[in-house]
Amino acid sequence: MIVRSWMLCWVAAVTLLAGCGGATGPGQTPSATGAWTPPLTAWGDPDLQGMWPIDKLNGTPLQRPESFGERALLDDDEYAERVKRLKGLNARYDEEIKSNKMGIGHWAEMGQPNRLTSLIVEPANGRLPALTPEGERRSAAMTSSWSNIPFDKVSDFNALDRCITRGLPASMFPFMYNSGIEIVQAPGYVVIRLELIHETRIVPLDGRPPLDRAIEQWLGESRGRFDGDTLVIETTNFNGESPMTIVGPGGKPIPTSEQLRIVERLRRSGAATIDYEIAVEDPVVLTRPWKAAFPLELDPKYRFFEYACHEDNSAVRNYIEASRYERAHAAHPR
């Protein structure tokens, strides 16, 4: 459950983000007391199905800027500044159309303003915990297309560079584009489709035992259950080869290990909202667990775009060939 100390801020944030909690939609009726009743599937499970893209959250940082301390929401002036900043960034698309020049405005989807200071809610400062000594060692050894190194081999690039996966928990956080999430259900299963990178998480609900720990996968192995109207998903059996969060320019890479364990909770809180929470622990690389929480907003009009990442994509090869050329030129300058 989301900690009590954060609950009031959470309710305010959901209202500010979605503005539709408590509405009644198809298959949903108020209870005798007037409270909203979550819908059920034909076989009796809480119904979470639909398109729940998280592109609207792109303007919200995963980690809270240190200047906010333990404050979960922006004040009026800070919110106005975010509105102004995102308005300018989102205007780039139309500006590029007018100038007949395509640039970052056609790639980056900057989201909509909200008052959340971060997606992380625990620790109370909204920041990732410190790494263990082993976590620091692994972080220092991680490389990606953002690294200032000569590139010799494919493994110099991380899993996202190579279009394998964003991994978990990174795949459940907004990205600059292709942030679609779709939930599909069938008796005994919940399926979570991810637009980036064309992955599908199949979550069985039948109580089957976990896989042997020797079987490791990029997105781990998930098992789910309904606790009342809340879907609880526990994922283990990771291979420890993908970053915990997206690696960007100047950012410190956060590693994962085979001991990564993730618990997600999804609860339908209104006709068009899901309260989403993800708790992350990895005792090999993290000094303590951390948790993020934010609302998902239903958008039936959202459509996935194909993420054909490596179709005619020669970026990895070009990095390596350019590095080889630079070394040869440095060794034998003309």
The 10 Å CB-count burial string (b at 16+, else e) for 114-142 is bbbbbbbbbeebbbbbebbeebeebbeee
Residue 51, CA distances (Å) to 121, 289, 301 in order: 24, 29, 8
pTM here is 0.86
Q: How far apart are CA 205 and CA 56, in angstroms?
A: 30
Mean pLDDT to the nearest integer, 169-188: 95
Look at the block and give the residue holding tokens 């007391």: 33
Per the DSSP assignment, residues forming a β-bridge with 217 are 238
Q: Are 224 and 203 in contact (CB under 8 A)?
A: yes
Q: Is 269 helix (H, G, I), strand (E, B) or coil?
A: strand
Which residue bears the tokens 């009026």?
A: 76
Assess whether pLDDT exceeds 70 at residue 29: no
**Which pLDDT score is estimated for 33?**
56
Of 245, 294, 238, 242, the C-alpha closest to 128 is 245
Average pLDDT of the chain is 88
Tally Cβ neighbours within 10 Å of residue 295. Answer: 25
> Which band of pLDDT confidence, cut at 50, 70 and 90, is reported for residue 332?
confident
> Domains in the chain, please, with CATH?
40-57+129-331 (2.40.128.20)
Q: pLDDT tier at 107 (50, 70, 90 boundaries)?
A: confident
Give the model confidence (pLDDT) of 188-236 as tens digits: 999 999 998 889 999 999 999 989 999 999 999 999 999 999 999 999 9
Each residue of 303-325: pLDDT tens digit?
A: 998 887 776 678 888 999 999 99
Which pLDDT band holds residue 20 (cuts at 50, 70, 90)? very low
Cβ neighbors of 54 (< 8 A, separation 6 or more) are 172, 173, 174, 179, 181, 294, 296
